[in-house]
């Protein structure tokens, strides 16, 4: 049996808003740093600075959550408690 990996969090994401919030929560449980980046206007995974492989899925999560700027991020955070961990 293989050890769980942070990429397992993406398996059940099919573009729905609530699924996107669950992915963010799951990633945080794996210790990933997820934050809003003003320059890109989306959620970013800290590891993207060194490994851009997750950039597209993070864009998809941001889109599903309706995150396009700081205000929409704060709204999504209040709704889904994205910074809970």
Q: Express each pLDDT in 63-72 by its tens digit.
A: 999 999 999 9
Structural tokens at position 15 = 């573009």
- Could you give the maximum distance between any two Cα atoms of the chain, in Å? 42
Q: What is the pTM of this model?
A: 0.92
The distance of Cα 6 from the centroid of its chain, to the nearest Å, equals: 11
Three-class SS state of 71: helix
Decide if 34 contacts 43 (C-beta within 8 A): yes
Provide the pLDDT for residue 4: 86
Q: Which residue numbers in the chain have pLDDT < 70?
A: 85
The confidence score (pLDDT) of residue 69 equals: 96
| H/E stretch holding 42 | strand 42-45
pLDDT tens, 43-55?
A: 999 999 999 999 9
Between CA 27 and CA 43 the distance in angstroms is 12
The pLDDT of residue 65 is 98
């Amino acid at each position: 049996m293989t050890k769980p990996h942070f990429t397992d969090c993406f398996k059940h994401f099919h573009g729905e808003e609530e699924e996107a919030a669950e992915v963010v929560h799951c990633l945080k449980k794996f210790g990933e740093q997820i934050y809003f980046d003003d320059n890109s206007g989306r959620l970013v995974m800290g590891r993207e600075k060194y490994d851009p492989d997750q950039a597209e899925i993070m864009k998809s999560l941001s889109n599903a959550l309706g995150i396009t700027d700081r205000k929409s991020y704060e709204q999504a955070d209040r709704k889904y408690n994205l910074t809970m961990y």
